[in-house]
Amino acid sequence: MVTNPPLRRDLHFNIEGVDLKHWHQSGAMVGHFMNALSLFFPEGERFFIESVRNYRSRVSDPKLQREITGFIGQEAMHGREHDRYNTALMEAGLPARQLERLVTRHIVGFFRRFPKIVQLAITIGLEHFTAILADLLLTDDRFVAGDHRMVSLWRWHALEETEHKAVAFDVYREVMGRTLSGYLIRTFTFVFVFAGFMSWLLYFHLRLIAADKSARGWAQLRSLCSFLFGGFGFFRRIAIPWLSYFRPNFHPWDHDNHLLLSEFDTLVAKVERDTLTEAGAIA
């Protein structure tokens, strides 16, 4: 699988005026699931960048060095845009900053206590999860649907996660090789981190729902259950890709979905057009 190095795209998403409690067409409970995910990204992306930089000097391949540069640029942009997203959540009366502080102190702060190679293993495990999530988002329009500005933001993030999904993994493999210890650190770390992440995600989701009186009722709950567990549901769709990580010869590009990246030009043009339109309206 041959791919071009990830490209840093300095896009600004104007979500001013978006009703972040009701932006998702499947209802507020579903929208808050996505909102809860956003709360992890600013600090999480910074941790990913650090964990890869820790081993950059060990990488001799010029192509991988260029990919690392693109990875860092993309993750920095993701952190910036999700920080703005999370600020908007706070301004909507949701406990975004309180929950972000938990990410900084109790999640990422905990990760930083581990040896640097384990930190990199944490990164590649979470990058695998985000790559699964990105593929689901890009191949099923029902997963993120609603306000077009939020759809654009999430699709941009998903496209770039797909584009750089193997970079941290390739750095890990450069450092650890195809050794048994490399496999064991990678897989045991993934189980541990994924279980912890999903527990925190559930807690964050419940906190957002509790803070939003409009996210109540049986209809909302049925919609959420369908979103998470139904025929196209989140957990059903991620199960097989999740398990693929445990193959000894696993590589992120085993699932070759690079054709999805052809959406970039259209998406970038749309975001730029929306920004100009909204700026003109404000003027």
pLDDT in tens, 75-118: 999 999 999 999 999 999 999 999 999 999 999 999 999 999 99
263 inside domain: yes
Query: Which residue type occupies 202?
Result: L
According to DSSP, residue 146 is labeled B
Residue 212 clears pLDDT 60, i.e. is over it: yes
22 inside domain: no
Residue 282 clears pLDDT 50, i.e. is over it: no
Q: Which residues contact 143 (CB under 8 A, 6 or more apart)?
A: 136, 137, 232, 234
Confidence of residue 8 (pLDDT cuts 50, 70, 90): confident
Query: Which residue type occupies 81?
Result: E
More confident residue, 2 or 88: 88
254 inside domain: yes
Q: Tell me the CB-side half-sphere exposure of residue 42, using CA atoms within 13 A.
A: 19
83 inside domain: yes
Q: What is the pLDDT of residue 279?
A: 43
Considering its fold, how many domains does the chain have in total?
Answer: 1
Residue 203 to residues 102, 178, 280, Cα–Cα distance (Å): 11, 36, 40
Q: Taking the model in full, what pTM does it have?
A: 0.92
Confidence of residue 1 (pLDDT cuts 50, 70, 90): low
Which residue matches tokens 């730029």? 272
115 inside domain: yes
223 inside domain: yes
Tokens of 218: 């049986």
173-178, Cβ contacts within 8 angstroms, sequence gap of 24 or more: 174/55, 174/58, 174/59, 174/60, 174/61, 174/64, 175/55, 175/58, 175/117, 175/120, 176/117, 178/249
Q: What is the pLDDT of residue 283?
A: 35
Q: What's the chain's Rg over C-alpha atoms? A: 19
Q: What is the pLDDT of residue 181?
A: 96
Q: What is the pLDDT of residue 3?
A: 65
Chain segment 122-176, per-residue pLDDT in tens: 999 999 999 999 999 999 988 999 999 999 999 999 999 999 999 999 999 999 9
CA 198, chain centre distance (Å): 13
Q: What is the pLDDT of residue 281?
A: 40
First vs last C-alpha separation in the chain: 47
7 inside domain: no
Q: What is the pLDDT of residue 280?
A: 42
More confident residue, 269 or 9: 9
3 inside domain: no
Residue 71 clears pLDDT 70, i.e. is over it: yes
Chain segment 216-247, per-residue pLDDT in tens: 899 999 999 999 998 778 898 999 999 999 99
d(CA 152, CA 155): 5
Q: Is the dihedral of CA 173, 176, 182, 187 positive or negative?
A: negative
Tokens of 195: 């279980």
Residues spanned by the domain of 229? 28-277
d(CA 200, CA 99): 10
